[in-house]
């Protein structure tokens, strides 16, 4: 579903901002996760795999999505989790405890070991010491994921001047670049301070009709500030759309800032992909609560203009 946002800034700049509500595709495999997993699940089935093996951090959207996909499609699942310290703290972590309740088994590893295993998937497979494992890379990002993401765009989307998404591993951006029309500009808003993101995207697409914007990382991956939380709460009140703090809120902030400063010209039509990730709000709020910081609102009955 595409939803046009009504915000005073957009009206004053005569910019149309349409949100593609990929977050509504599936309650646990939301947004880009659903798209990234689609062809990987098909490949796992063709290979007669019995277990999906993947990687992720403590609050990973991809870990939960893979656990849900496995449960729904008749696979077992194993997650290699970054951070040995999480081993005895699964109950305190909403993402991991939901994944566990869907049947996922965990292998907790140190950050160094995690880096080593994500770079060498054979080593990771050996940890499971059995056949029938289908390996899905970190973030679910591989060529099959890019193929799935490219299916996000439909005929009505080709009228937009800009297509925007958040960038983690770069596979989502690459899928959109592959699917977009030549005259469309794809803007990727980095969610982490990683200056080689273009090289990551370049692994998945040879086209160059995109730009990666590094100005709205808010200090790095999964970092958040009080003003960003305030913006998220205000957008929710004004539009009824809830964004996630790690990816889509930073993209949204970046889009509005670019509109405000005129980098996105008057009269433009922007299509922004809501890639989901809302499951991460609970974990983020419990961290914010410990710091006595403002919390992210998750529901709001009032819809202001
Ligand atoms: C909600 C959400 N949005 C955007 C992204 C970024 O996608 P990619 O890793 O394909 O760049 C992710 C991470 O995969 C995500 O979980």
**Distance, CA of 216 to CA of 240 (rounded, Å):** 23
Overall CATH class of domain 32-140: alpha beta
pLDDT at 302: 46
pTM above 0.85, yes or no: yes
Dist. CA 118 → ligand 1 center (Å): 17
**Distance, CA of 16 to CA of 110 (rounded, Å):** 45
The Cα-based distances of 177 to 93, 143, 167, 248 in angstroms read 35, 13, 12, 18
pLDDT at 301: 55
Atom of ligand 1 nearest to the CA of 170: 11
Dist. CA 166 → ligand 1 center (Å): 6
DSSP per position, the chain: -EEE---HHHHHHT-EEEEE-GGGS-SSS-THHHHHHHHHHHHHHHTT-SEEEEEE-TT-HHHHHHHHHHHHHT-EEEEEEE-GGGGG-GGG-HHHHHHHHTT-EEEEE-HHHHHHHHH-HHHHHHHH-SS-EEE--GGG-SHHHHHHHGGG--GGGGG-SEEEEEESSSHHHHHHHHHS-TTPEEEEEESS--TTHHHHHHTT-----EEEE-TT-TTSTT---HHHHHHHHHHHHHHS----TTTHHHHHHHHHHHHHTTSS-TT-EEEEE----TTHHHHHHHHHHHTTPPPPP---S----
CATH of the structural domain 2-26+148-290, one choice from 3.50.50.60, 3.40.50.280, 3.40.50.1100, 2.60.40.10:
3.40.50.1100
Answer yes or no: are the C-beta atoms of 52 and 44 closer than 8 Å: yes
pLDDT at 129: 67
**Distance, CA of 277 to CA of 300 (rounded, Å):** 18
Pocket of ligand 1 from Cβ distances under 6 Å = 31-32, 61-62, 139, 141, 166-173, 244, 247, 275-277
Q: Which residues of the chain have pLDDT under 50?
A: 302-305
pLDDT at 305: 35
Dist. CA 74 → ligand 1 center (Å): 25
Residue nearest to atom 13 of ligand 1 (CA): 168
pLDDT at 303: 43
Domain ranges across the chain: 2-26+148-290, 32-140
Dist. CA 64 → ligand 1 center (Å): 13
Two tokens at 101? 């309740």
Asked if domains 2-26+148-290 and 32-140 share a fold, the reply is yes
């Amino acid at each position: 579903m595409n939803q046009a946002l009504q915000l005073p800034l957009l009206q004053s700049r005569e910019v149309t901002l349409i949100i593609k509500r990929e977050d509504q595709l599936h309650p646990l495999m939301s947004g880009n996760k659903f798209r990234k997993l689609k062809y990987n699940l098909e490949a796992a089935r063709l290979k007669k795999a019995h277990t999906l093996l993947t990687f992720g951090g403590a609050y990973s959207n991809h870990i939960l999505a893979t656990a849900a996909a496995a449960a729904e499609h008749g696979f077992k699942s194993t997650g290699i989790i970054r951070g040995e310290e999480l081993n005895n703290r699964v109950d305190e972590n909403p993402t991991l405890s939901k994944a566990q309740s869907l049947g996922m088994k965990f292998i907790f590893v140190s950050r160094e070991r995690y880096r080593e295993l994500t770079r060498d998937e054979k080593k990771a497979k050996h940890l499971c010491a059995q056949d029938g494992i289908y390996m899905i890379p970190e973030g679910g990002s591989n060529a099959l994921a890019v193929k799935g993401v490219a299916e996000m765009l439909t005929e009505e989307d080709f009228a937009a001047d800009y297509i925007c998404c958040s960038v983690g591993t770069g596979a989502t951006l690459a899928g959109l670049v592959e699917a977009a029309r030549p005259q469309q500009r794809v803007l990727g808003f980095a969610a982490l301070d990683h200056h080689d993101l273009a090289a990551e995207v370049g692994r998945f697409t040879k086209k160059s009709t995109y730009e990666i914007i590094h100005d709205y990382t808010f200090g790095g991956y999964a970092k958040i500030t009080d003003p960003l939380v305030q913006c998220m709460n205000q957008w929710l009140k004004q539009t009824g759309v809830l964004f996630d703090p790690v990816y889509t809120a930073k993209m949204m902030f970046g889009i509005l800032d670019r509109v405000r400063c005129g980098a996105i010209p008057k009269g433009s039509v922007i299509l922004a992909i809501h890639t989901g990730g809302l499951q991460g709000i609970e974990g983020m709020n419990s961290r914010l609560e410990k710091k006595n910081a403002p919390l992210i609102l998750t529901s709001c009955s009032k819809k202001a203009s």
